[in-house]
Structure 1
Amino acid sequence: MTLRIGIAGISGRMGRLLQEEVAAAGGTLSGGIGRDGDAAALFAGSDAVIDFTNASTAERHAGLAAEHGKALILGSSGLSAAQETAVMAAAKHVPIVYAANFAPGVNLLFALAERMGAALPPEQYDAEIVEMHHRQKVDAPSGTAIGLGRAVARGRGRTLEEVGMESGRDGHTGARATGPIGFAALRGGQVVGEHTLLFAAGSEQIALTHRSFDRRVYATGAVRAAQWAAGQPAGLYDMKHVLGMG
C-alpha cells in the first residue's frame, strides 16, 4: 500500500519542495494545509504528516497525531519546554520524529559533536557555535545550533540547561566563563543555513562546519523520515534513528 503523506505548511517554500519529494519517493500526497485549514481532517486522511510550520502549532498537531493514531514528522524549531513536553506525551501513543534538522550531514555533525564533547573537556576547550540564516528566520539561536549545543553537553555528561548558554554578548562582559557553550546568530540575505562548531583551547582550535545550499535536502530527509516512521512503534525519535545511527 502506498504511504499517504500529508503536509502541514504546504503553501510555503518547504511545502512545495515536500510535494515534489513525496512524489519522487513514490508516496501519495494525501492533502495539505496552510495557515488555515482543517488539521484534523489532514491527520485523519494520512498515514503520516510532515509539519514544518511553527512552534505555535506543534502541541495541537502532536495531539491530533495521537488522537488519530498517525505518525508525525515535526521540523518546527523554537519549541518551548511546555510544547516539547506535549510532543513527548503524544509520542507515548504514536511514532514522532522530532528533529532540529533533517539533512543527513547535519545529523552526522551532531554525532561528531557528542563524541568531541566527550573527548575535549570544558576546562581546556571552550565550545562555541556560530550559525547564519536568511533574514526571514524568526528564532535564534536556530534549532540546529541548539541541537549541536545539546550534543556537546551530552558528550560531557550533562544537559545544555546544566552547562548553560552564553549568547548575545555585548559590552564589558568580563572573561569567558568555563563550561557554558557560546552561541552567535547571524541573519542576512537568503542564506539557507550555515553552522560552525568550534572547540578552542590555548594551544589548538578545531572547527566543524556544515553548509546547506538547497532547502530540498530538508524535504528529502523529512520524506525519508515519514517512510521510516510509518512502520515504527510509538516513541519519540530523531534523525539518527532514521539514519540507523540510534
Structure 2
Amino acid sequence: MASFGIIGSKGRMGQALASAVEEAGHTLAGGVDAGELPGPLALQADVLIDFSAPAALEANLKVARVAGVPILIGTTGLDDTNFAAIKDAAKAIPVLQTGNTSLGVTLLSALVKQAAERLGDDWDIEVLEMHHRHKVDAPSGTAKLLGEAAARGRGVYLEEKMESGRHGQTGARKSGDIGFATLRGGSVAGDHSVIFAGEQERLTLSHSAENRTIFARGAVRGAEWLIGKPQGRYTMEDVLDL
C-alpha cells in the first residue's frame, strides 16, 4: 500500500483519481489545486500524480525534486519548455510523462508503431480524435502520442511531418505527412483512430474511452510502477514492458 498525492484534485480527473486510488487499496495523502502549494503534500506522499495545467508543471517538478518523490504527469498541452523541465527533473527523480494513461491506448500506440514500420511509405497515415466540448487543447495529447508512435515507426520526426491545419485550397496531400483531424462535442471521454490508407485498402486502429475512470486506473497503475524506480524519464510503455 502506498500514499498518493494528487495535483489538480478538484478537476474531473482529480476526482476520478481519488476514487481509483481507494479502489486499488492505496491511501490518499491529499490533493492540491491552483493557488495551493504542493510542497507539504510532496513530503507526505510516496508518489505524486499531476493532472493540473502546463503553467504549473515547472513548479510541481521542482517540489517533487526537492522532496525526492516520483511524479507521474498526465497534463496535456505541454510545450517545449515543459518538456525541457521534465528532462531536467528526470536527472534527479523518476518521472513518467504521457499524453494518455489508458492501458488500452498504450497498447494501441505500440500497434501503431509496428504498423508504420511494416507498411510502406505509400500508405498514408491520418489520426482522428474526438473529445468533449470542454477540452481546451487540440490535437489531443493522445492524438500526438499516436502520431509520434507512427513517426517513430517511419523513422521520422513528427514535427517535420505533422499536418493539422487543412482548410481551403490546400493542394494534394504531401507524401509522408501524418495528418490530424480534431472533433469536439458532447461528453465524449475520448475516441482515437489511426487510419493507414493504401491503394484500395485501409487499416484502422482505434480506441474508445467510455469513461475517464480508465485513465485514472491507468494512472494509478503507472504511479504504482514508478515507486522505487531510479531517476529517469519513463513512459506508459515501460509500465507494460512494451
For 1:99, the equivalent position in structure 2 comes to 98
Q: Deviations over 1:147-185 (max 9, x none)?
A: 0110001011122123x2111311110000001100001
For 1:172, the equivalent position in structure 2 comes to 169
Distance 2:13 2:38 in 1: 18
Q: Secondary structure at the match of 1:65?
A: helix
Q: Secondary structure at the match of 2:129?
A: strand
Q: Secondary structure at the match of 1:53?
A: coil
For 1:183, the equivalent position in structure 2 comes to 180
Distance 2:199 2:25 in 1: 52
User: Runs of 5+ in structure 1 lacking a partner?
Assistant: none
Give TM-score scaled by structure 1 length. Answer: 0.96
Q: Deviations over 1:114-153 (max 9, x none)?
A: 001111222x111000000001100000000000110001
Matched, 1:214 2:217: no
Q: Secondary structure at the match of 2:64?
A: helix
Distance 1:188 1:27 in 2: 35
Distance 2:146 2:34 in 1: 30
Number of positions where the alignment pairs a residue of Structure 1 with one of Structure 2: 242
Aligned positions of 1:100-115 closer than 5 A: 100-115=99-114
Distance 1:39 1:182 in 2: 38
Aligned positions of 1:62-101 closer than 5 A: 62-101=61-100
For 2:146, the equivalent position in structure 1 comes to 148
For 1:3, the equivalent position in structure 2 comes to 2
Q: Secondary structure at the match of 1:136?
A: coil
Q: CA RMSD in A?
A: 1.0
For 1:202, the equivalent position in structure 2 comes to 199
Q: Secondary structure at the match of 1:127?
A: strand
Picking from 107, 113, 126, the partner of 1:128 is 126
Distance 1:235 1:159 in 2: 22
Distance 1:202 1:25 in 2: 47
Distance 1:64 1:150 in 2: 29
CA shift, 1:46, in A, is 1.2
Give TM-score scaled by structure 2 length. Answer: 0.97
CA shift, 1:23, in A, is 1.2
Distance 2:108 2:18 in 1: 27
Distance 1:65 1:38 in 2: 12
For 2:44, the equivalent position in structure 1 comes to 45
- Moved >6 Å (runs of 4+): none
Distance 2:169 2:199 in 1: 22
Q: Secondary structure at the match of 1:21?
A: helix
Distance 2:66 2:82 in 1: 17
Distance 1:192 1:228 in 2: 25
User: Runs of 5+ in structure 2 lacking a partner?
Assistant: none
Distance 2:35 2:25 in 1: 27
